[in-house]
Amino acid sequence: MCGIIGARVEGDATPFLLDGLARLEYRGYDSAGIAVRTRDRALTVSRSTRRIDVLREQVDALDRDGLTGVGIGHTRWATHGAVTEANAHPHLDCGRRIGVVHNGIIENADALRTMLSAQGHVFRSDVDSEVIAHLVERTLALEPDLLVAVQVATAHLEGSWAIVVLDALSGRMVAAAERSPLVVARAAAGDFVASDVGAIAAWADTFVALRDGDAVELADAWVWTSGGMIVPPPIPQPSPFAAAALDLGDHADHMAKEIAEQPEVVAGLLDRRAAAVADGRLWTDLGLPGFHRLAVLGCGTSLNAGAVIASMLRSTGRVPTDLIVASEADRAVLAPGTLILAISQSGETADVLRALDRFDGRFPVLALTNNLHSSLARRADAVLDAHAGPEIGVAATKTFTAQVVVGVLAMLSALVTSGRIERRQAQSLVGEMHRLPGLLEGAYQASATRIPLLVTSVSAATGFLFLGRGGALPFATEGALKLKELSYRWAEAYPAGELKHGPLALVTEGTPVVVVDNGEPRLQANIAEVAARGGFVITIGGDDADIPAVGQEAGRRRLRAARSADRLPGLDAWGPLEAVVPLQMLARELALQLGCDVDKPRNLAKSVTVE
């Protein structure tokens, strides 16, 4: 969603601002802008409702000689107010002295706008963020210190904000945050502020994340305040975004690279975590109380990853689980003894954070996130790091796989600690998980050869069905989500047994029906139901499948013998994780054949910070 960049460098700030904005593009945006201080102490502002490249052309046409090294920039993903240049950030005060970029939502913006208008302030946009510029302007009339003025102004705000305020007169720049991420960094090139470490990865090796209530002046010596008191600046952390992580290497796009990285990510996670599972250390180190029930909270792909983890916990440990769509959490009723597992790759998803507000500290919260500095990580009682590395494609791929693996390992460890499974059983289950990198790699290779041709056969279809049973169902759901977000085709996932209760009406000659075949014997009847109506069945499964990507032949045999999908040991109980690889590749290939941008699907954002 919205992104912030600010720079305080020698020379001209615009190349830094534009490069930073380009690195924020992956978050999703529909307008962008920058404001740079000029030598004669004014603000030069450029905004565009088109791509960053267009903004770059606009900026190139400026007289750059008069510009200084102090500036701010923003990518906006419209929520309140249409996509117009006037609504794009930075926003200015009446005197065009103060420039502001803002992420978050000012909930009392209407009341503030009425109050400020009554005092003579003139608004130029429809957006809530503009009130901040006028509040700072009003405060500066009485209080000349920008840092204090920003703190006074933010005291009037309700909601969430990450802001950077630039004063053209003094050249001072202040950043402040409340329930919205913001980081600052000192690098050889100068000082930077950004909503996302990735935006400044090219210049900064370390960074400091602002905490709620912090306000910082980026000056020769940073002045750091917390809750209004001056405090020493926190120690900088190493940036997780090594510049190399942003290179595509031989891959055509970030999504392709991130799909291919999954075997390596999982191998790394097993190296890091597997040894601490069977003796319970992975769980006990989290310092959480025991639990009788698990409530998984998340959205989109993270919720699907949670469904896999929950499926493992039910089948292996017989622990009851709830799956809570975060945006619907106000209707959830949790039983005493419940642990909340809140899953979010970004850790900034507003629906998840608001859902936790509603549970109001009554249940312990374990966060599973790819961002240890996120709002979610900060407010949870314990945190599991997904350790997937930077994921730039808007569609979640390797973070899904990493979340599943870390979540399963942690829950296995909890099962040992609570005596629900024996240490030896945990050891054997973890042993089986060591097959995962090979299974993922095998699935990747099989898909690379088969998927392009298969997709050519279905690229004209307007809708797709995805089916699975038992442990395979969350993967079918994830496959349908991936396909719709990337290719803009309708796609729905169903438990295969539900087909005959309605969705079968959708199947006509050539309707593509993707089946995640985990060996469940009853799937064959469901496949026959589709084929009898002329549906185009694509099976992802074992050796006899259209895409032979599920390496569970032994499991399949056991499944057929057991005839019960919830009594299986090991990977068969909650897999096939490797099926996600062909599902991701199918969605990507279809999107490419339809001419869609796979790294930046329309209307979507990497970090969804609105409810």
Of the candidates 31, 129, 160, 301, which one interacts with ligand M6R according to CB under 6 A?
301
Neighbours of 54 (CB within 10 A): 12
How far is Cα 385 from Cα 370, in angstroms, rounded to an integer? 6
The interaxial angle of helices 398-417 and 262-273, nearest 10 deg, is 20
Residue nearest to ligand M6R (CB): 300
Shortest Å distance, C-beta 599 to ligand M6R: 12
Task: Choose, from 398, 482, 600, 606, the residue flagged as catalytic.
Answer: 606
Applying CB under 6 A, which of residues 14, 75, 87, 349 lies at the interface with ligand M6R? 349
Distances (CA, A) of 514 to 111, 239, 307, 545, 547: 52, 40, 19, 11, 10
* Residue 100 and residue 174 in contact, taking contact as beta carbons nearer than 8 Å: no
Of the residues 315, 344, 401, 413, which one makes contact with ligand M6R according to CB under 6 A:
344
Per CB under 6 A, the segment of 306-314, 329-337, 346-354, 565-573 that binds ligand M6R is 346-354
8: how many CB neighbours lie within 10 A of its CB? Answer: 25
Least distance in angstroms from the C-beta of 398 to ligand M6R: 11
Could you tell me which stretch among 78-86, 204-212, 405-413, 600-608 binds ligand M6R (CB under 6 A)? 600-608
Locate 357 and state its tokens. 């507000």
Q: How many CB atoms lie within 10 A of CB 110?
A: 12
Q: Cβ 115 to ligand M6R, closest distance in Å?
A: 35
Q: Is 482 a catalytic residue?
A: no
Residue 385: closest CA among 410, 358, 362, 361 = 410
Binders of ligand M6R among 391-430, rule CB under 6 A?
394-396
Site for ligand M6R in 62-101 (CB under 6 A): none
For residues 503 and 492, the answer to whether their CB atoms sit within 8 Å is yes
346 binds ligand M6R (CB under 6 A): yes
Q: Which of 2, 398, 482, 596 is catalytic?
A: 2
117-143 in b/e form (b: 16+ CB < 10 A) is eeeebebebebbbbbbbbbbbbbbeee
Task: With CA atoms as reference, report the closest residue to 575 among 468, 422, 480.
Answer: 468
Q: Quick one: 129 or 344, whose CB is closer to ligand M6R?
A: 344
Q: Is the Cβ of residue 269 or residue 537 nearer to ligand M6R in the bound state?
A: 269
Segment interacting with ligand M6R, rule: CB under 6 A, options 34-42, 299-307, 411-419, 579-587: 299-307
Candidates 137, 225, 116, 130; CA nearest to 176 is: 225
The one among 299, 380, 405, 585 contacting ligand M6R by CB under 6 A: 299
Query: Binding segment for ligand M6R among 169-177, 254-262, 338-346, 524-532 (CB under 6 A)?
Result: 338-346
Let me know: does 390 contact 606? Beta carbons within 8 Å.
Answer: no
Is residue 606 among the annotated active site residues? yes
Parallel/antiparallel/unpaired status of strands 536-541 and 547-548:
parallel
When asked if residue 439 is in the footprint of ligand M6R (CB under 6 A), the reply is no
Q: Is 487 in the site for ligand M6R (CB under 6 A)?
A: no
Asked if 345 interacts with ligand M6R (CB under 6 A), we say: yes
What the block records as the tokens of 530 is 């589709």
Part of the chain binding ligand M6R (CB under 6 A), chosen from 121-129, 201-209, 345-353, 465-473:
345-353
Binding site for ligand M6R (CB under 6 A): 299-302, 344-346, 349, 352, 394-396, 485, 604, 607-608
The catalytic residues are 2, 606
